[in-house]
Structure formats: C-alpha cells, structure tokens
Amino acid sequence: MSRIVALCFLLLAAVLGFLHIDSRPVWAPFVVPAFPQTEEVADETVTTTPKTKAPSKAIAPASQANWLPDTGAPSVHAASLIVLKDGAVRAFWFAGSREGAADVSIYSSVYDSHSANWSAPTVVMDRVSAEKGLLRYIAKLGNPVPSRLPDGRLQLFFVTVSIGGWAGSSISAITSDDEGLTWSHPQRLIASPLLNLSTLVKSPSVSFTDGSLGLPAYHEWVGRFGEFLRVDAGRVIDKRRMSSGRSAIQPLMFVNDAQDASAYFRQTRSSGLPKQIPVGSTQNAGQNWQQSEDLAIANPNSAVAGVTLKNGARILALNNIEYGRHRLVLMMSSTKSGQWQTVEVLEDDEALPDAQRKEFSYPYMITVDGDDAHLAYTWDRKKIRHRYFSGAWLKQALNKVQTQELEVQRSEAQQ
C-alpha cells in the first residue's frame, strides 16, 4: 500500500509540473541579438559609426587553440563561456576525481585575448559551500551555465543532486556584482511543484524584452525531453515543454526574431531510430513548441553547440557521427540556403582502434562581437580545449561555403 501511495504522489507531482497555469505572467517577445551595424562595400566591411583610428589588431590566418588551466583533478567536463564587460571571456567547468564524485567543484578562469592566455583557476562552488548556502544535503554538482542579467550582473546556473543520479537534479543559481570575482549565496530554482526534481541545464539562455530570461533546460526522470523555463529575479515564473517522449534533451536555441526561434536537441533515441539532430520550433516566443523535421546531420547522443554571427551565418560544433564521441567538427550554414557544411575537423580519432579513441564532447560556443567565435569542449575527460576563430577566419570559411553552394547549383542546373 505504501508503494502505491508513493507512486500516486510521484505521478501527481509530475502532472502538476506540466500543467499550464492561467495566472502566469503575460508572455514577452524575445530580445533579438544585436551587433554594431555594418554595410558591405566592395567585399569590405565598413562600420557606419564615425571613423576613428583603431588600435592595430592582428588578424589570425587560422583558428587558435589552447587549454583551460589545469586544476590538478583527473576528470573535467561541461565547460561554458560568457563575455565580460571588458570583452574578455570567462569560462566555467567542473572538475574532480570523476563526474558525480563528492569532491567535484565548479571552477572558473578568464581568457586574455591580448596574451591569448587563461588566468589561474578559481573555485566558484563546491559541494560543501552549496550545502551551506542551500541548507540541504548535496551529493554532487555540475553543468555550470552563465548568463547576463538585465542589471548587468553575472548569473551562474548549476545543477545539484541530493539523492540518486542526474535524474534527481535541480537547478541552483548564484550572482556576481564584480564579473565573477565574488559570488552570492546559492538560491535553488523551483522549476516544478512538490518534488522539484530532474531539471538540468546545458545551453546558453536567451532574453525577453521584459528583462526575464529564457533558460533552455531538460528533464531526465519521467521521460527525457526539453523544457523552456522563464526566469525572473531568480524565480521560475513559467515553464513550457519543448519536446516529447524520451528522445530529445539539452536544447540549443537560435532566436530568429521577436517571436520565432528554433531548438536543436541532443538525441537520445533507441536503436533503430534515426541518429540525427531533433529540431523544435516556436512562433510565439517560446510559449508553444512544435516538432520539426530532423536536421539531417549524424548525432551520437551527444550535445551540440552553436552561435549566430552578425552576418546571419550560423555555426555548429558537434560529433557528426552516429556512434561514439571520437570526432568533433565545426559546421557552418549560410544565410541563403541554410544548408550545413563542415568547415573544420576539430578532432578525429576515427582511424584509431576503439580502445585508443578519445572522447571529444560537450561543446559550448559564444561570440564576442558577432564576427568571431570562442569554443570550449571536453577533451577525453582530462582537459578542456579552447578554440578561437577570428572574424577573418570565419569570413573566409563562409566564402568557401557559399562558393560550394554556387557550384552545386550550377551542377544541378546543367543536369
């Protein structure tokens, strides 16, 4: 009897977590990412702002690569990035004896673009500090995801688990008034009534015009699916389901305009089903989501990352194979066709025996000015790799993509 009562209680909690409540706040439009206006003149980009003598800046002929600083821990994972007010980039990741271990801490470091070096790592949050701040037992933590609040402060979401595996997760958040030098006490987000379990984060947030944040999240307990949390002043004020069933988690969002956005998911499909990237879309700023046709790119149950550039081109970093995580590539789509092409093979152990292949996974990508891109990803669970792609490099890559598309169009027209 007690088991039946417990099961009924769990089912009630799950149902209540997905109910739409009529008293929810009015939904606001998306903030469309804005970059300094430019105009194309004779294949040269000229800013429309008054001309001033800018400091000389070296143009990288190729992508640059380095490593996030070593913490001394044997296992590292789940790096994320955010742009600071001075244009530097701050990274977050977790490290410990293994994923989910009690000694895991969340670390941070800042990248200086002038020296191309990362600062010494600092501990942002550990299990003991999380317990003291949240006043509850914490077994493990992970998946740090930074965001920028409307008042300019940094906010860091991270996952905590009190009992069980990652399916028993909840989201907590801390804020910083000094760009990540010091942090507030953690606050737990209440994403669902009663149990508030199995809510995780992985991808960057988006902004609404009313100052609230849209946080792509996902559920791993009663099914595996994406969720879209609307967060205001550290409180979840609304939640909408982004996908269904047990096949799509860790949504990556692309905002197209004030109402329209798309989401690319990590697929968790059973054998026999397509190992491609599930896609969802919304036409009312995230209130409702519809399943779209798969992106016909291989995906081996692994996260994807991406950004939209100022010129409208989009970039994806992902494992473009059906099984394993031993190959990681950078793909790009032009503004016209929307077709994805590989522009850089970042890592590839395909030629090695299975036992010697390393894991390259959990990519996270941002752009500082809309022209460049910073990418961080897990390298064999031992290091975090950082790659920088300059505006010149990405422009050259886009030209190649567009040229290939024209060649395909000419070939098709001649047939």
Distance, in Å, from the CA atom of 267 to the CA atom of 400, rounded to the nearest integer, reads 29
Residue 406 counted as domain residue: yes
**Tens of pLDDT along 49-67?**
334 334 444 444 567 999 9
Mean pLDDT of all residues in 321-348: 94
Residue 320: domain span: 303-415
For the four alpha carbons of 391, 393, 396 and 401, in that order, the dihedral sign comes to negative
**Tens of pLDDT along 272-293?**
999 999 999 999 999 999 999 9
Domain count for the chain, please give it.
Answer: 1
* Percentage above 70 pLDDT, the chain: 87
Task: Find how far residue 174's CA is from the centre of its chain.
Answer: 18
Residue 354 counted as domain residue: yes
Q: Which one-letter DSSP state was computed for residue 224?
A: B
Distance, in Å, from the CA atom of 120 to the CA atom of 70, rounded to the nearest integer, reads 8
Residue 72 counted as domain residue: no
Q: Is the pLDDT of residue 398 over 60?
A: yes
Phi/psi of residue 18, nearest 5 degrees = -105, 0
Q: Give pLDDT, residue 9.
A: 43
Q: Give pLDDT, residue 12.
A: 52
Helix (H, G, I), strand (E, B) or coil at 232: strand
Residue 385 counted as domain residue: yes
pTM score, two decimals? 0.89
Comparing CA positions, the residue from 314, 322, 331, 319 lying closest to residue 378 is 319
Residue 82 counted as domain residue: no
Kindly report the number of other CB atoms within 10 A of residue 23's CB atom: 4
* Contact partners, residue 121, CB within 8 Å, separation at least 6: 68, 69, 70, 71, 107, 108, 109
Q: Give pLDDT, residue 33.
A: 85
**Alpha-carbon dihedral 9, 12, 17, 20, rounded to 10 degrees:** -160
**Tens of pLDDT along 290-305?**
999 999 999 999 999 9
Residue 24 counted as domain residue: no
- Could you tell me the two tokens for 207? 């902004």
Asked whether the beta carbons of 297 and 266 are under 8 A apart, the reply is: no
**Tens of pLDDT along 200-236?**
999 999 999 999 999 999 999 888 999 999 999 999 9
For residue 415, count CB atoms less than 10 angstroms from its CB and return exposed for 0-12, middle for 13-18, buried for 19 or more. exposed
- Could you tell me the two tokens for 334? 């032009």
For the four alpha carbons of 361, 324, 252 and 343, in that order, the dihedral sign comes to positive
Angle at 249 between CA 245 and CA 251, to 5 degrees: 125
Beta strands at 38-41 and 44-47: parallel, antiparallel or unpaired: antiparallel
Residue 139 counted as domain residue: no
Residue 255 counted as domain residue: no
Comparing CA positions, the residue from 79, 86, 87, 85 lying closest to residue 106 is 79
For residue 409, give Cα distances in angstroms to 334, 343, 395, 404, 415.
14, 19, 21, 9, 10
Q: Is residue 259 very low, low, confident or very high in pLDDT (cuts 50, 70, 90)?
A: very high
Look over the chain and give the mean of its residue pLDDT values, rounded to a whole number: 88
Helix (H, G, I), strand (E, B) or coil at 168: helix
**Tens of pLDDT along 344-386?**
999 999 999 999 999 999 999 999 999 999 999 999 999 999 9
